[in-house]
A and B are shown apart, each in its own frame.
Chain A
Amino acid sequence: DQQVKQNSPSLSVQEGRISILNCDYTNSMFDYFLWYKKYPAEGPTFLISISSIKDKNEDGRFTVFLNKSAKHLSLHIVPSQPGDSAVYFCAASIAGTNKLVFGAGTILRVKS
Chain B
Amino acid sequence: GAGVSQSPSNKVTEKGKDVELRCDPISGHTALYWYRQSLGQGLEFLIYFQGNSAPDKSGLPSDRFSAERTGGSVSTLTIQRTQQEDSAVYLCASSFYRGEETQYFGPGTRLLVL
Contacts and interface: CB of A to CB of B under 8 A. Distances in A.
Interface in A44-101: 44-46, 49, 51, 89, 91, 93, 95-96, 98-101
Interface residues of A, number: 26
Interface in B12-33: 31, 33
A50 to B, nearest CB: 10
A89 B99 contact: no
Nearest to A99: B45
A20 interface: no
Contacts of B102: 34, 46, 49
B43 A44 contact: yes
Interface string A14-34: 000000000000000000101
Contact of B91 (A44, A46, A93, A95): A44
Given A51-B100, A95-B100, A104 B31 contact: no
Contact of B108 (A36, A43, A105): A43
Contacts of B101: 98
A44 B89 CA distance: 12
B107 A43 contact: yes
A103 B41 CA distance: 8
Contacts of A6: 42
Given A42-B107, A91-B43, A105-B42, 9 more contacts: A6-B42, A36-B105, A45-B105, A95-B99, A98-B101, A99-B59, A100-B43, A102-B35, A104-B40
30 contacts: A4-B42, A32-B100, A34-B102, A36-B105, A42-B108, A43-B4, A43-B6, A43-B91, A43-B93, A43-B105, A43-B106, A43-B107, A43-B108, A46-B103, A46-B104, A51-B100, A89-B43, A93-B100, A95-B100, A98-B31, A98-B97, A98-B99, A98-B103, A99-B33, A102-B35, A102-B42, A102-B43, A104-B40, A104-B41, A104-B42
